Amino acid sequence: MAFGSKADLLSEVIKVAVAGDDAPVPLASRDSWTAMIDAGGQSTLTAFATLSTEICGRTAGLLAVASTAAESDEKLAEMRASALHQRHQDCATVIGALSADGSLTSGYTPVEATDIFYALTSPETFLVLTRERGWPPAQYKKWLARTLAASLLNNGRAHEMAQSKQTH
């Protein structure tokens, strides 16, 4: 009764699950987020992989339910769109930090790098690997950190591929 609607209740449950507590502090305003952003390069991506694995472990199933429910509930659809936009903005913040510290590959524009980061870190990817394929969270976290680094860091494979394209 305190939430007004099922959409409001589900939204609140997801917010608490993302944060891991009910403190009214957005994820991007928390000390752990700031420390992750400030770490730089591989350390930022490793910390993000850890954080993402924890968050997806708490939220991926809820988000899948919310996504399905949003197909027939306008309020949930609006909440989902807002949450997806915020997740994309958080990804852009990480990419911005990698760009600022010089560790982002020149193989992609910041917009492309943000989209790649967004796709790789999606709750859907987490569910495919952990639920469908049976990976333990520790294996997912290790894969995510390696894949993000190989795709986005200037010493990763993406950089090598970009260099190869320039010489051919």
Nearest one of 49, 80, 88, 50 to 62, comparing CA atoms: 80
CB atoms within 10 A of CB 33: 19
Nearest one of 67, 51, 45, 54 to 124, comparing CA atoms: 67
Q: 80-91 pLDDT, tens per residue?
A: 888 889 899 999
40 three-class SS? coil
Considering the chain, what percentage of its residues have pLDDT values greater than 70?
A: 77
Q: Could you give all domains of the chain from N- to C-terminal order, each with its CATH number?
A: 6-167 (1.10.357.10)
Nearest one of 69, 53, 66, 50 to 14, comparing CA atoms: 66
pLDDT given for residue 163 in this prediction:
42
Q: Indicate if the pLDDT at residue 124 is higher than 80.
A: yes
Q: 6-31 pLDDT, tens per residue?
A: 666 666 666 666 666 666 667 778 88
CB atoms within 10 A of CB 123: 19
Per the listing, tokens 């520790």 go with: 138
For residues 43 and 97, the answer to whether their CB atoms sit within 8 Å is: no
pLDDT given for residue 23 in this prediction:
62
